[in-house]
Amino acid sequence: MLELLQLLKRKSEKLHLGGGADRITKHKEKGKLTAWERIFTLLDPSKPYVEIGKFAGDDLYPEHGGCPNAGVAAVMGYVSGRLCVIVSNDATVKAGAWFPITAKKNLRAQEIAMENRLPIIYLVDSAGVYLPMQDEIFPDKEHFGRIFRNNAKLSSMGIPQISAIMGSCVAGGAYLPIMSDYALIVEGTGSVFLAGSYLVKSSIGEVIDNETLGGATTHCEISGVTDNKFPDDEQCLAAIRNIVDKFGDQPKANFSRVAAVAPEYAPDFIYSHLPQDRLKSYDMRELIKAIVDAGSLEEYKTDYGKTIICTLARVDGWAVGIVANQREIVKAKKPGNANEMQMGGVIYSDSADKAARFIMNCNQQRIPLVFLQDVTGFMVGSRSEQGGIIKDGAKMVNAMANSVVPKFTFIVGNSYGAGNYAMCGKAYDPRLIYAWPTAQMAVMSGASAGKTLLQIQEATLKSQGVTLDETEKNKILSDIQQQYNEQLSPYYAAARLWVDGVIDPRETRNIISLGIEAANQNATVERYNVGVIQT
């Protein structure tokens, strides 16, 4: 675990360098703060924050020089005492140009603002769409244009949007700040226009410089496009804090909260409790005790469906319902007083049935849900199929998918196949979803996938009259497993925004607390309706 955490630390520190030390130097020579300096200037220094989309773009687009952290930093944190989402373009990465993953990360930040009704602040410093990849970012539903659609939707929902133009703001990107409620601009560095001076000249023959075309003076004194101009980044950011300070309060969802109590175990307990070998068993209950408030656990159906733990608890004072995969081998009572050994991390019919009922209870009682994933999937084989595992699994998925209370997911270890779905994977709209450095996510484990794919290749070659010897089989199996294991990495998932980031397990408690605090800002909790439940 300590080795994994060192890797996490090194990768995190590298992200703050954006496009590299040389580009940061050139950026600051223009009198600009970096993307992260702007964020930290805005945030309340004594309050917690959570990064959104950490490692997005990790190792993507190598043929284009890469796009570290998707070329944009995004956090959820407090500004003048108000919980906000902040999106800050990193102009040291390809001049802040938008790659496909940049659009996906911006959309994720807007989604979080919408779900929780949080004010969103855009710190704009971008050259616009990365033209060599325009076909992968421009025209589709979840591409660049969706950003401006969301600007309009956020406005219609009454969610405040503030933009600071702190660098280039070109073409379609010009609509983002101007569709915000407040549009501020920094003199000398900020500019906003639909077409830059070169394009204007080639299009209509007009010769004009960018500052006159779309600088601070033009838009504050002539066009009225921007509200106010500021001599530097610091004063512009101070104005944003001053604006947020004036926002009125909104109705709350009123999720239950009491005074917080420290966990029974120190957070570092997690490091020693999780076995290095992911095939070894461990007691998930003990791990939970390092996350929740001491003395707050109230388990549901303790002696039934033991491969899933369902328990009420409190995290930093907030009431939660926890659905977690138990990794110990357990004994299950069967009719006739028989015992059945059940493997940890596997969802059986009884555990799926229990989890479905618990999820429904939490929705009826307006208790946010936390999912702790270490799941290898649903139980297979004739006995399980005849026992109705598909029916019971569908019941659990139905109850979870239709959940109206906020859901938060953490991938502790394995996250394989339909187990990922039933335990609230990304497809099921968790408000936040993070992976621990120990996480692995795929349809199945590398070993299982390797053997399955090898069998398919063997059968194909056999039909062509080719027979493999053991050495050839082992070589193919090794190659398959190596490729597959790279895709299992939590950083592979984070790079593609299948999760919101990879975190130190000690951060789990803070993310749950801040996540529920954010969810509490949205007073609208719909009526719970699961539709047709399989019986």
pLDDT of residue 245: 96
Kindly report the CATH class assigned to 268-439+499-521. alpha beta
Cα–Cα distance measured from residue 6 to residue 79, given in angstroms and rounded to the nearest whole number: 30
Q: Residues 115-142: pLDDT tens digits?
A: 999 999 999 998 888 888 988 888 888 8
Cα–Cα distance measured from residue 498 to residue 494, given in angstroms and rounded to the nearest whole number: 6
Encoding tokens for residue 513?
């607390």
Q: Would the pLDDT of 497 be above 80?
A: yes
Give the closest residue to 124 by CA, choosing from 181, 166, 95.
Answer: 166
Torsion of CA 34, 35, 41, 46, to 10 degrees: -120
Least confident of 97-101, 321-325, 471-475, 506-510: 471-475
- 361 and 398 in contact (C-beta within 8 Å)? no
Encoding tokens for residue 431?
């408000």
- 78 and 117 in contact (C-beta within 8 Å)? no
pLDDT of residue 492: 95
DSSP state for residue 280 in the 8-state scheme: S
Strand partners for 441: 415
Q: Is 31 helix (H, G, I), strand (E, B) or coil?
A: coil
Q: Residues 312-321: pLDDT tens digits?
A: 999 999 999 9
- 102 and 136 in contact (C-beta within 8 Å)? no
Q: Is 30 helix (H, G, I), strand (E, B) or coil?
A: coil
Mean pLDDT of 238-265: 96
More confident residue, 42 or 207: 42
Beta carbons within 8 Å of 72's beta carbon, 6+ residues apart = 35, 53, 87, 88, 89, 90, 96, 102, 105, 106
Strand partners for 234: none
DSSP state for residue 456 in the 8-state scheme: H
pLDDT of residue 110: 97
Least confident of 5-14, 469-478, 485-494: 469-478
Least confident of 186-200, 263-277, 311-325: 186-200
Mean pLDDT of 350-355: 95
Q: Is 402 helix (H, G, I), strand (E, B) or coil?
A: coil
Q: Would the pLDDT of 172 be above 70?
A: no
Domain with CATH 3.90.226.10 in the chain: 1-245, 268-439+499-521
Q: Is 279 helix (H, G, I), strand (E, B) or coil?
A: coil
- The CATH T-level fold of domain 1-245 is 2-enoyl-CoA Hydratase; Chain A, domain 1 (3.90.226)
Amino acid letter for position 174: A
Decide: residue 392, CB within 10 A, 0-12 exposed, 13-18 middle, 19+ buried.
buried
Mean pLDDT of 55-78: 96
